[in-house]
Structure 1
Amino acid sequence: MVSLRDLGLSSYEERVYRALLNVRTATAEELSNESGVPMGRIYDVLNGLESRDFVHCNPESHPRVYSPIDSEMAIDRLLRNRKRDLEIERTRYENVAAELHSQLGNQPPTDGRFWETRSHDTEIEFVHAQIERFSDATDEVLIVGDSVLAHQFLNVTEPLQSWLDSLENGSIDVQILLSEGLSGEGEQLLELLRDTDQTTPVETRIHSAVTANFDLIDQRDLYLYVTDPFARSRPLGTIHINENILIEELKDEFTRYWREAEPLPETM
C-alpha cells in the first residue's frame, strides 16, 4: 500500500498529518493521543511539518492549535520536492559517469566480445556459462553444430543433462541442428539427445550442409564458435554478437535448413 512516506514524509510526520486531516484542528497533546506519536516527539514533528508548510499554527492560541493544509496541495508539494531531489541525484550520477568515462573510457578492451576457449580450462568454463545462459532463456534456444559442439558438450555432460531434463515443462522451444558427419565421440552426444527427444520438447535434426557452430538465444544473443585452424574438432573461441540484422538473417537461414533437415535417426 502506498503512503506519504513514499513521497518523503517520515512515519511520524505522516501519522500526525493524517491525524490532523481527520480532526481538522488540534493541540499537540490531542495530536499525540490521536496519532500515537509520543509527546516527547510531537513538537519536533509538528515543527518539521510547519517548516515545510504542511501544517499551520495559530500563534495567538494557548495552547497552540494546529491545522493541516489541503491534502491535494500537500501531495503536489511532496511530488515537486521528490522530483527536485531526483533531478539532483540524476545530475550527480551523470557527473560521476562523466568522470569515470574520462578515467576509463580511453582504455581499449582486452578481448572485446571474444572468449578464448582453446585451453581445456577456458573451454570448460565457457560451456558451463553457456548452459547457464540457456537456462535463463525465456523464448527459444537454437543450437547448430558439428564435431566442435560435440567436443564441447561432452566435456560437461552432467550440467547439459540437467538443463535438458529441466525442459520437460515445455517453457521454451529448443531446436538442435547437427551435422550429418558426426561420428566417434559425437555419437555419445547423439545418444543423449535421442533420449531427450523422447522426454522433452527438445527437437534434434540432421543436415548434411552443417559446417559451422553457433547458439542463438531468444533471437537476441548469437554466440558464434571459431574453429581452431590446427585442430578442426576443437574451438579456438567464441564471439558474442547482438546485431539485429545479422541475427534475423541467420535465423531465416536456420529456418530454411531446419525445414530441409531430417529427424534424428535411431543410429548414425
Structure 2
Amino acid sequence: MANLRDLGLSEYESRVYRTLLRTGPTTAKELSRASDVPMGRIYDVLGSIEGDDLVRSQAASRPKKYAAVEPETALDRLLEDRRREARETVERYEEIVDTLSEELGSAGPVEEEFWTAAVGEEGTIDLLLERLAAADEEIVVVADNRTPQFDLGRVGDAVTERLEAAVERGVDVSVLMTPTVVAELPESVGERYRSRLSDHSSFAVRTTEDLDGTFNLIDGVEIVLQVSNPLRPGEAFAAIDLKDHAFVDDVHEAFRPRWEDAEPLSF
C-alpha cells in the first residue's frame, strides 16, 4: 500500500501532514495531541515539512497556526524532490564510474591465456555484448549459415548498437557474413547500417558463401565462439570466450583471404 514515507517523509512528518488535512488550521500544541507526535518533536517536524512547502503557517496569529498544502500540490512537490534526488544520484554515480574507468583502465590488460564460457541464450548474448564493448582496436564478426539461432530482431539490434559504439571510440570493425544471414537480419539492422555506418571508414561489411563457423575476434588476441545445441542443431547453446594469441593468429590468417575475396555488402 502506498505511503507518504515512500515519497521521503518520516513517520512523524507523514502523521502530522495527514492530521492537518483532517483538522484544518491548528496550533502546534493541538496538532501534537491530535497526531500523537510528542510535543518535544512537533516543532522540528513542522519546520521540516514547512521547508518542503507541504504546510503553510500563519505567523501573525498567537499562538502560531499551521495548515496543510492541498494534497495534489504537496504530492507534486514531493515527486519533484524525489526526481531531483534521483538525477543527482545518477550524476554522482556517473562521476564515480568516469573516475574508476580511468583508474582501473590504467592497470592495462592481463596477457595470460584465459577462457570462459556462458551457457544458454541469455548468457551467450550477454557474453558476446560484453566482449564487443571491451574492444579497443579491432572487431571481426564472422557469421555463416549455421549461425546459432537467436531472436535476430533483439540480438541483431543490440550487436549493431555495440558495433556502432565501437566505431565511435575508434575501433575498426569488419563484418563477414553469408548472403543467407544478411537476408535474415531485421530491417532495423539494415536501416542502422545504411543511415549510420555504411559511410564510416572504420566499418566494413562483406559477404561470401565461403564461410565455416560463427565467431568474433577481439583486438587480435581474443575469440568468442558460438556453439549450437548438439541435441537441437541451429539452436544457441553456449559461447566460449578464449584469449590465446597463437590460436587467434591462426584464425585471423584463415579469415584474411576470405575477406579479400568477399563482395562488399549492398543493402
TM-score (norm 2): 0.48
Higher relative contact order (CA 8 A, sep 6+): 2
